[in-house]
Amino acid sequence: MKQFIFIYVFFFSSYLISQERFNGSWTSDDSNYYLTINGENFSTYRFVPNKSINKEIKWDKVYSPGIEKFVKKEDNIIVTNYWIEEQQYYVKVTYTLIDEQNIKAEFNGKLKGEFYYNVINYKKVKFTKPQAVPPL
């Protein structure tokens, strides 16, 4: 029984570590959208410039009109279903973790009844601490 519990704990913790490698925010030169993965939750969004009342540029976070649902995870692959009803866009997305800083997303499905396939390569977003501006 102890051996079974050890094996279960080992594989479950390996699954969590593997899952966490996908977690974070991702960007791509192939898309205007950012992707954030948090466990089995996926959000896609972009930033749109907008002038504030003071005529300063303000960036609004605009979410994709699509819905993405987790289907399964195996090793370094996550599969989701993604759709945008208004655009008749229905795809299966296969995310492959290439390494700690890169994932590949393959979109395979239909757009307005026609076959659709696309690949987007994402890089993990690295957040850096803002540099202090010296006083004048």
pLDDT higher than threshold 90 for residue 89: yes
Cβ atoms of 26 and 124 within 8 Å: the answer is yes
Looking at 46-60, 65-79, 106-120, which range is the least confident one?
46-60
pLDDT at 2 over 80: no
As a whole number of angstroms, the distance between CA 19 and CA 37 comes to 10
- Residue 12's pLDDT band, with cuts at 50, 70 and 90, is very low
Instruction: Convert the pLDDT of each residue in 19-46 to its tens digit.
Output: 578 999 999 999 999 999 999 999 999 9
The pTM for the full model equals: 0.77
CATH number of 2-124: 2.40.128
Mean of pLDDT values over 41-64: 91
Split at pLDDT 50, 70, 90, the class of 7 is very low
**Domain coordinates in residue numbering, the chain:** 2-124
